Amino acid sequence: MTIDGSAYAPSTITVRKGDTVTWVNKDPFPHTVTAAGKFDSKSIAANGKWSYRATQAGDFDYICTFHPNMKGTLVVQ
Amino acid sequence: MKVKLLLAALVAAPAVALAQAPNDAQIAHIVVTANQVDIDAGKFAQGKAKGKEVKDFAKQMVTDHTAVNKQAVALAKKLKVKPEDNATSQSLKKGGQDNIKNLKTMKGDAFDKAYVDQEVTYHQAVLNAIDNVLIPNAKNQELKDLIVKVRPAIDGHLQHAKMIQSKLGK
């Protein structure tokens, strides 16, 4: 997964339970990957990355708390 | 307050419409100035803000706009474009100075609210400038691409500021 131009790409990703997903921030400023109450990367620095192991099945909508117009969905099957 | 904000937005709008068709050197100057104005406001606000969320937002503005400016300056250098001062840059700068002057008269909750209100108005005005002046007039593709790529972050700042604004209004 990449974060570039203040957007998550792809905006929706489907993984299997137990998989690990990594977001790489290619922007020159920080972003977050935050699904309230489910997971929260906190600040991912410029050129930094954050990994999350999907242990719970379901559809999780997430945003960047710094730029709340950024939206993505993680589907865990 | 809504009326005041609307007025502020109307006042800000003609300022960016002044430059009918800025050239790339002027556009580069406007980009750098627009970022610098918000960096200055953020630096001032992060020291004076009362609420943590407002303080964090101010810090984020300094971080984000500093990073964008680094890119803009590097690109101008690469393209051998010397940023050229112009009426739009001057009005942005003047607006920023007036905003800080206004903030200096306030403290506590009133300060937080005034800063966040200004940030909402400012980012809306910058978005308007990006859409109506900067992107349509940028000739160099790399310069245009930079502005297009930064636009969602500016919109993000606007949404973020609006979110804080609605919490402060309660």
Q: Stretch B69-87: mean pLDDT, rounded?
A: 96
DSSP state letter for B18: S
What is the pLDDT, as a whole number, of residue B169?
A: 80
The one-letter amino acid at B97: Q
Domain boundaries, chain A: 2-76
User: Which residue blocks in chain B are alpha helix, DSSP H?
Assistant: 2-17, 24-48, 52-78, 87-104, 108-129, 135-137, 141-168
CATH number at residue B68: 1.20.1260.10
Count structural domains, chain B.
1
Q: How many other CB atoms are found less than 10 A from the CB of residue A17?
A: 12
- Whole-complex ipTM: 0.93
Quickly count helices (H) and strands (E) in chain A.
0, 9
**What's phi and psi for B81, nearest 5 deg?**
-100, 125
Contact A28 B157 (CB under 8 A): no
Asked if B160 and A67 touch (Cβ cutoff 8 Å), the reply is yes
Cα B44 to Cα B144: distance, rounded to the nearest angstrom: 30
pLDDT at B4 over 90: no
Query: Structural domain of residue B64, as residue ranges?
Result: 2-168
Mutation choice for A interface testing from B63, B70, B75, B127 by most A CBs within 10 A: B63
Q: Could you tell me the two tokens for B103?
A: 């903030």
| % residues pLDDT > 70 (chain B) | 88
Which of B160, B162, B165, B166 is the best substitution to test chain A (most A C-beta atoms within 10 A)? B160
Q: What is the pLDDT of residues B12-65, one digit of tens each?
A: 554 444 446 999 999 999 999 999 999 999 999 999 999 999 999 999 999 999
Element (H, E) at B139: none
pTM of the model: 0.90
Give residues with Cβ within 8 angstroms of A63, minimum separation 6.
Answer: A32, A34, A35, A70, A71, A72
* B130 in reach of chain A (CB within 8 A): no
Backbone dihedral angles phi then psi of residue B118, each to the nearest 5 degrees: -65, -40
Terminal CA-CA length for chain A: 18
pLDDT digits (tens, 9 = 90+) for A17-31: 999 999 999 999 999
How close is the nearest chain B Cα to the Cα of A17, in Å?
Answer: 31
| Domain spanning A2-76, CATH architecture | Sandwich (2.60)
Which of B63, B156, B163 lies closest to A64 in CB terms? B156
The predicted structure's pLDDT at residue B10: 45
The pLDDT of A26-54, averaged and rounded, is 97
Residue with tokens 């020291």: B47
How many angstroms separate the CA atoms of B88 and A23, rounded? Answer: 38
Give the pLDDT band of residue A60 (cuts 50, 70, 90): very high
Contact B30, B92 (CB under 8 A): yes
pLDDT confidence of residue B5? 46
